[in-house]
Amino acid sequence: MTPEQAYEELLRRMKELSLLGNTAGVLGWDQEVYMPSANAPFRAEQLSLLAGMCHQRFTDPVVGDLIAKVEGSSLAKDPLSNAAVNVREWRRSYDRSKKLPQKLVEEMSRVSSNAQVEWVDARKENKFSRFQPWLEKIVGLVKEQAECYGYKDHPYDALLEDYEPGLTCAQLDKLFPPLKERLSTLVKKIGSAPRKPDTSILKRKCPIPEQQDFCGKMVEAIGFDFGKGRIDVSAHPFTTGLGPADTRITTRFEETNFENSFFSTLHEGGHGIYDQNLPSTLELYGTPRAGAVSLGIHESQSRLWENLVGRSHGFWVHFFPELKRAFPGVFDDLSLETFHFAVNHSAPSFIRTESDEVTYNLHVALRYDLETALLTGKVKVADVPQAWNEAMKKNLGVVPPTDTLGCLQDVHWSHGSFGYFPTYTLGNLYSAQFFQAAEKEVGPLEGKFEKGEFTPLKKWLNERIHAHGQTYRANDLCKKVTGQDLSSEPFLGYLERKFGGLYGF
């Protein structure tokens, strides 16, 4: 078999695996959006079967032989060619997947599928004890995964690799402390600032059907293609790609919490725009060349649209009149400045997804600290509520009155997604650095937003980030796009300028 024939066979096999993965994705999306909760055990068996099939097919020794045949051949000579990028990433994934027993893969799929349903009910009932046995199972399985993968310094390193290749605890332990210190200083300045926004205006009654309509128009305006996607409702907002022309985003609505639905939709819309603009040709779809770089880069797209665009003054110059028309009489007495200050309020709060730009990363740091402690046994699952509340008091100065507002708020642990949370902070850092680079090339964006012109920014993101797929690793892409390694300075500088101006210090 020639290298060319080996590569064609790899493409065939990987596209078949992609179809199986998309099928599992549809079942997972349905479970979180429409499925009756009583069907959870059966859905868990369906997903477990598919997970086992995918693992078995991907770890077939023939796949390793085919990868080896292409590696070192003329097909992979140019490291940026489609074949070289695909084989590089297939090799990385293959070597990792071979370390996991199929039984472990199936069990994690089965347990996490059931745990997700139990998490929803535990959250509704404000009852951590209902979720506790499932979390104990998941932590045990996650530890087993880490041991199978192997690691040099910390078991968490083995899990980070699934979400942000190359990222380690050693790097995060250097990143978080100074970031937390500077953010904490900013929190204190805001807390003692002379100006305060009127956040009560964000709790005015906005009928949910009108919210759904407005959010749909808004996310379409920034570039989400409803011909290739849709919005639905779930307990925890998320985005999933189910095919080259099928990107699903979900959000949640509360009649007296317009801010939550609006910015959650904008956030997921940013994820959706990334997925919709990855290479989607028949040749590339289902291969790494058409995949997202990492969760940190993916998160940079959602946070960029949610915050650097969606909370900008120019954005609301355009959308505030639209908002007043969408909700007659609700916001008519407000000025643009009053509303803009309100949607940029900053104060310690309980919920990560509803927290502001300044405090958000303090929530992420809490989860990172807790996850690493659970993996090493420093914290037991039964002690999670207490450990959570103590960390909230230390990091943010507030203590959640319920588990629903505390340790049960995020869906990630029910999915077994340990190692995921740090990518949220990376996404914030990347978003500011990318936005800064976009303005250098496209020019000031605020004026464009005022006119409802979001295409120049979207086009820049399409060309500079989305079109590359996984051609570059995260920091390499950052350096190519911005000329620098990832840095917290653009993000921190942006926050200090913005909130200093808003709060008057």
pLDDT at position 282, please? 77
Nearest to 160 by CA among 343, 295, 254: 295
- Average pLDDT by stretches of 10, the chain with 505 residues: 96 96 96 94 96 96 97 95 97 96 96 95 96 98 98 96 95 94 96 95 96 97 98 93 95 93 96 96 90 97 98 98 97 98 97 94 97 97 98 95 97 96 98 98 97 98 98 96 96 97 96
Report the amino acid identity of residue 196.
K
Domain boundaries, the chain: 3-150, 169-503
Joined together, the tokens standing for residue 327 give 């909700």
Residues whose CB falls within 8 Å of the CB of residue 325, separated by 6 or more in sequence, listed in order: none
262 with 251: CB under 8 angstroms? no
pLDDT at position 49, please? 96
Joined together, the tokens standing for residue 269 give 């819309």
Round to whole Å and give the CA distance between 416 and 116.
10
**Phi-psi region for residue 150, left (φ > 0), alpha (ψ -120 to 50) or beta?**
left
* Structural element, H or E, at residue 137: helix 128-149
DSSP letter string over 273-292?
Answer: HHHHTS---TTTTTSGGGS-
DSSP letter string over 345-384?
Answer: -----S-GGG--TTTHHHHHHHHHHHHHHHHHTSS-GGGH
pLDDT at position 127, please? 96
pLDDT at position 249, please? 97
- Looking at residue 418, the DSSP 8-state letter turns out to be T
**Residue 299 bears catalytic tag:** no
pLDDT at position 354, please? 87
Joined together, the tokens standing for residue 63 give 């796949």
Round to whole Å and give the CA distance between 160 and 167.
6
pLDDT at position 353, please? 87
- What is the residue whose two structure tokens read 């999933």? 240
Maximum Cα–Cα distance for the chain, whole Å? 74
Round to whole Å and give the CA distance between 317 and 197.
18
Nearest to 305 by CA among 337, 336, 276: 276
Q: What is the pLDDT of residues 43-97, one digit of tens each?
A: 999 999 999 999 999 999 999 999 999 998 999 999 999 999 999 999 999 999 9
Fold assignment, 169-503: Neurolysin; domain 3 (1.10.1370)
pLDDT at position 412, please? 96
Round to whole Å and give the CA distance between 211 and 145.
42
Residues whose CB falls within 8 Å of the CB of residue 344, separated by 6 or more in sequence, listed in order: 197, 311, 356, 357, 498, 499, 502
Choose the catalytic residue: 268, 299, 306, 371: 268
- Tell me, letter by letter, the H, E, C secondary structure of 300-350: HHHHHHHHHHCCCHHHHHHHHHHHHHHCCCCCCCCCHHHHHHHHCCCCCCC
pLDDT at position 486, please? 95
Joined together, the tokens standing for residue 52 give 């086992």
Q: What is the pLDDT of residues 353-365, one digit of tens each?
A: 889 999 999 999 9
Round to whole Å and give the CA distance between 176 and 364.
9
Sign of CA dihedral 201, 207, 212, 216: negative
pLDDT at position 280, please? 84
pTM value is 0.94
